[in-house]
Amino acid sequence: MAEQKPIRVGLLGAGTVGSQTARLLVEQQDELAQRIGRPIELSGIACLDPDEVNFPWIDKSLLTTDTMSVVKNADIVVELIGGTGVARTFVLEALNNGASVVTANKALLAKYGPELYKAAEDNNVDIYFEAAVGGAIPIVRPLRESLVGDQVKSMLGIVNGTTNYILDEMTTKGLDFDVALKEAQEKGYAEADPTGDIEGYDAANKAAIMATLGFHTNVGIDDVTVEGITHITADDIAAATAEGKVVKLLAVVDHTDDGVSARVYPALIRQEHPLASVHGSFNAVFVRAEYADDLMFYGRGAGGAPTASAVVGDIVTVARHITAGCTGPAIRMYNDYPIAPLSSAKASFAVRFLIHDKPGVLLQVAKEFADRGISINGVNQDLKPTATEPGYDGEIQQLRLVTHMTDETTLRDAVEAVCKLDSVTGEPSIIRVLD
Amino acid sequence: MAEQKPIRVGLLGAGTVGSQTARLLVEQQDELAQRIGRPIELSGIACLDPDEVNFPWIDKSLLTTDTMSVVKNADIVVELIGGTGVARTFVLEALNNGASVVTANKALLAKYGPELYKAAEDNNVDIYFEAAVGGAIPIVRPLRESLVGDQVKSMLGIVNGTTNYILDEMTTKGLDFDVALKEAQEKGYAEADPTGDIEGYDAANKAAIMATLGFHTNVGIDDVTVEGITHITADDIAAATAEGKVVKLLAVVDHTDDGVSARVYPALIRQEHPLASVHGSFNAVFVRAEYADDLMFYGRGAGGAPTASAVVGDIVTVARHITAGCTGPAIRMYNDYPIAPLSSAKASFAVRFLIHDKPGVLLQVAKEFADRGISINGVNQDLKPTATEPGYDGEIQQLRLVTHMTDETTLRDAVEAVCKLDSVTGEPSIIRVLD
């Protein structure tokens, strides 16, 4: 094996994931050579400031600010820069230069996936991205390969650790969203600018990738309907707990006769549901397929070492393809399904109003729902609102109801009508219920 | 695409899985051609009696009793015969004939894996077997590819649906093993000869495959220590329930400084453990890796359609390799780890004795354990034995204790000594406790 020319791996980025990727490649050099059948070598590491990168396993002479030189001198380019700006330039350059690409960049794939997949196919090189969805969890490869003999019908995932952590803290400590977010930021679980996580955009990127791979059709980030968790209050969580449920931010992709849909929203799920016990930074993805039936994949959704494990798994796969001379198994999006209209998505909703309880209120509320053909599954007034609830005045009560299946447009219309009633005050809360 | 020569797929076996595999291949013919980039065609189906095979999607002219002719006229041979006899002959013939092989045959791989992997490598063809472990669950491919940049430390799985169903029934209905087995047989969840399942041999085959793939070393069926569930009584289950635990049959593989180990045994696990909520015919495999940390894979472990989903996923993968001209990514067992001696496996044990309660009994029992350096974690005498318990005479009581970590040899020595005490009667029960 000593005489074989090593496969050159160029890293773009030397942050948390980049440095751990370098560590795995260096520490396991001999073992990886055995697994591939040919040695690999780190040929360069592009970073913003080489002086700031100090890890015992990183040979300082590999560090450079000249990203393009790393791109041009590698057989496999590992893009860990993130974002949709220069990352796109470098990935395209690598592919067009005949190098294969491994990336963990979900935003890049959700926005420019088709362009990148085509560039890989045109140049007969690989593009692998296991770490872009679910961190260390093998979910991309099972979708690309294991389930390729089946028909995926839907997927349901907890794919953002930050929001999962915040919702956990709200649940166990009874915190309001703002307090829990601040705590998460102090502990390093949320970024200084948490928008991408808490507004659901990170999960939306992953939903777009899941839908594209699962349904073999192009679903981009702009096709994803997104609702974050910023509107979830301590009272929403208390109401969920009282009903034996928890609130989780879900990425949901579906394929029905109306087309495909990719959505991100917080939802109430039963405490017995396997996804209810996915806590903290762990992620999980549920897949329902025509023949395989239900599958679940669970593991660390983020973190340097777990993400690097997925990245290096991809590097080995690509290196094996290079060794065998067969890179370029294309990502085929041969379907051209329409994006299902929002109105086609039926769901059960938990709605919470703040009311001044007078005789006849419930009747009025019920009428607005009945007039729009929405059936009510249950009504509850047993929980007092907390003082931090918007609209709280010491007198108001909570009226909670759960609907049968309806579409969101009709539901919001009914809720708007209810909010115009004299006895109703404050902001209503609307959360989907997973059946 | 119409002009491309189709890839010929020959099926050996037309039973539950074989007929469903044929169905997926036929019903999804166009879609699979898109996914592969080249059409595939069913070239022959070998079965024992063509007159008995009646499925609307199976073209009767493909059925034959001449298995070897199917083997010789296929690019991909799908072995669904089972067992380690003729299956081996046909698989070797296929590989040596230049065909790739897809199989669901865990017994064949656990016994003759190295021979078959070598034949595949020598002939530069593929051998894929996702369905051999965990049915529809993608676990083989993640081990072969996703985790290939990591170091697997241990795996823990519920990989036999029959025993899982029986233990579930014993738990929810308070049944004794014999009764639950009979019920499972009547409902078709257990075979007429259930030995392979209830004695743990089926799980042992899967443990051997998991260890081989996870540790890149050869672990055969004879290297696996096996304990089935036939000795589990209703009282064991009742004691587990009283302690907030459930009994599950586990396949456990480990890599430590002492070598690798593959074991199958029933164990007590906490009700909060994710594996505790794996019920009926569902399977789940927990993987702990150096960098990825904990991963779990969950899904249908058996059944015609789910297993066929995994088989067809393999067929598509192999067909893509054939199309790209790069079959033969070898299964490399470059490590030569010793099998760890039984004495190296430390565990906590729950031991249950039947005793005639006289003053000093507990002291005597405690002494036998203490003399052998085994610490006791807890002692309990609160549950009365049921009348079906072997040794029951209306007077006896149960003495249950849980040890701290010890090895099985020392533990069994202590238990034997205790059983010689005058006050101790009947058969002791020993079950591992998962920490």
Chain B CB contacts of A145 under 8 Å are 138, 141, 313, 316-317
Nearest residue of A to residue B298, measured between CA atoms: A296
Could you report the per-residue pLDDT of A28-67, keeping only the tens digit for each?
999 999 999 999 999 999 999 999 999 999 999 999 999 9
pLDDT, residue A69, reads 98
Query: Does B36 map to a domain?
Result: yes
Query: Does A144 map to a domain?
Result: no
Active site residue B153: no
Where residue B332 falls (left for φ over 0; alpha for ψ -120 to 50; beta otherwise) is beta
Burial category of A33 from C-beta neighbours within 10 Å (exposed 0-12, middle 13-18, buried 19 and up): buried
Could you report the per-residue pLDDT of A299-317, keeping only the tens digit for each?
999 899 999 999 999 999 9
Could you report the per-residue pLDDT of A420-434, keeping only the tens digit for each?
999 998 889 999 999
Query: Does A158 map to a domain?
Result: yes
Nearest Cβ partner for B32 among A37, A149, A295: A149
CB-based contact A141 B137, cutoff 8 Å: no
A1 reaches B (C-beta below 8 A): no
Query: Does B418 map to a domain?
Result: yes
For residue A414, the domain's CATH number is 3.30.70.260
Question: Is A111 within any annotated ligand binding site?
Answer: no
Nearest residue of B to residue A147, measured between CA atoms: B313
For residue A51, the domain's CATH number is 3.40.50.720
Amino acid, single-letter form, for residue B370: A
Beta strands at B424-433 and B259-270: parallel, antiparallel or unpaired: parallel
Query: Does B2 map to a domain?
Result: no
B111, B206, B245, B248: the active-site residue: B206
Nearest Cβ partner for B141 among A24, A146, A306: A146
Could you report the per-residue pLDDT of A398-416, keeping only the tens digit for each?
999 999 999 999 999 999 9
As a whole number of angstroms, the longest Cα–Cα distance in chain A is: 88
CA angle B349, B352, B356 (to 5 degrees): 150
Query: Does B190 map to a domain?
Result: yes
B228 and B313, same structural domain? Answer: no
Euclidean distance between CA atoms B298 and A274, whole angstroms: 10
Euclidean distance between CA atoms B39 and A431, whole angstroms: 46
User: Is the confidence at residue A137, as pLDDT, over 60?
Assistant: yes
Chain A CB contacts of B212 under 8 Å are none
CB-based contact B308 A291, cutoff 8 Å: yes
Query: Does A329 map to a domain?
Result: no
User: What is the tally of structural domains in chain B?
Assistant: 3
A114 and A197, same structural domain? Answer: no
Euclidean distance between CA atoms A150 and B306, whole angstroms: 9
Annotate A36-64 with b (16+ C-beta within 10 A) or e (fewer).
bbbbbbbbbbbbeebeebeeeebeeebbe
pLDDT, residue B1, reads 44
Query: What phi, psi does A3 have (nearest 5°)?
Result: -80, -15
CB-based contact A149 B24, cutoff 8 Å: yes
Residue ranges of chain B with pLDDT lower than 70?
1-3, 389-392
Question: Is A15 within any annotated ligand binding site?
Answer: yes
Q: How confident is the model at residue A331 (pLDDT cuts 50, 70, 90)?
A: confident
Nearest residue of B to residue A292, measured between CA atoms: B306
A250 and A163, same structural domain? Answer: yes
The three-state secondary structure class of B325 is coil
A34 CA: distance to closest CA in chain B (Å): 7
A298 CA: distance to closest CA in chain B (Å): 5
Tokens of A246: 């928890």
Residue where a domain stops, chosen among A265, A300, A335: A300
CB-based contact B137 A306, cutoff 8 Å: no
B174 and B296, same structural domain? Answer: yes
A117 and A16, same structural domain? Answer: yes
B365 and B228, same structural domain? Answer: no
B192 and B267, same structural domain? Answer: yes
A111, A173, A206, A384: the active-site residue: A206
pLDDT, residue A3, reads 63
B414 reaches A (C-beta below 8 A): no
B258 and B158, same structural domain? Answer: yes
A160 and A280, same structural domain? Answer: yes
pLDDT average, residue stretch A87-112: 97
pLDDT average, residue stretch A384-411: 84
pLDDT average, residue stretch A1-26: 90
CB-based contact A292 B298, cutoff 8 Å: no
pLDDT, residue A345, reads 82
Euclidean distance between CA atoms A391 and A413, whole angstroms: 21
A194 CA: distance to closest CA in chain B (Å): 25
A292 and A160, same structural domain? Answer: yes
Whole domain around residue A74: which residue ranges? 7-136+304-324
Distances (CA, A) of A22 to A162, B294, B411: 25, 21, 45
Query: What phi, psi does B433 have (nearest 5°)?
Result: -115, 125
A329 reaches B (C-beta below 8 A): yes
The ipTM, to two decimals, is: 0.90
pLDDT, residue A2, reads 46
Tokens of B129: 């077997």
Query: Helices B177-186 and B161-173: crossing angle, nearest 10°?
Result: 120
Task: Report how many helices (DSSP H) and strands (DSSP E) chain B contains, helices first.
Answer: 14, 17
CB-based contact A141 B141, cutoff 8 Å: yes
B301 reaches A (C-beta below 8 A): no
Euclidean distance between CA atoms B392 and B394, whole angstroms: 6
Where residue A426 falls (left for φ over 0; alpha for ψ -120 to 50; beta otherwise) is left
A289 and A166, same structural domain? Answer: yes
Euclidean distance between CA atoms A131 and A142, whole angstroms: 13
The three-state secondary structure class of A163 is helix
CB-based contact B330 A37, cutoff 8 Å: yes
Euclidean distance between CA atoms A62 and B110, whole angstroms: 45
A121 and A55, same structural domain? Answer: yes
Query: Does B353 map to a domain?
Result: yes
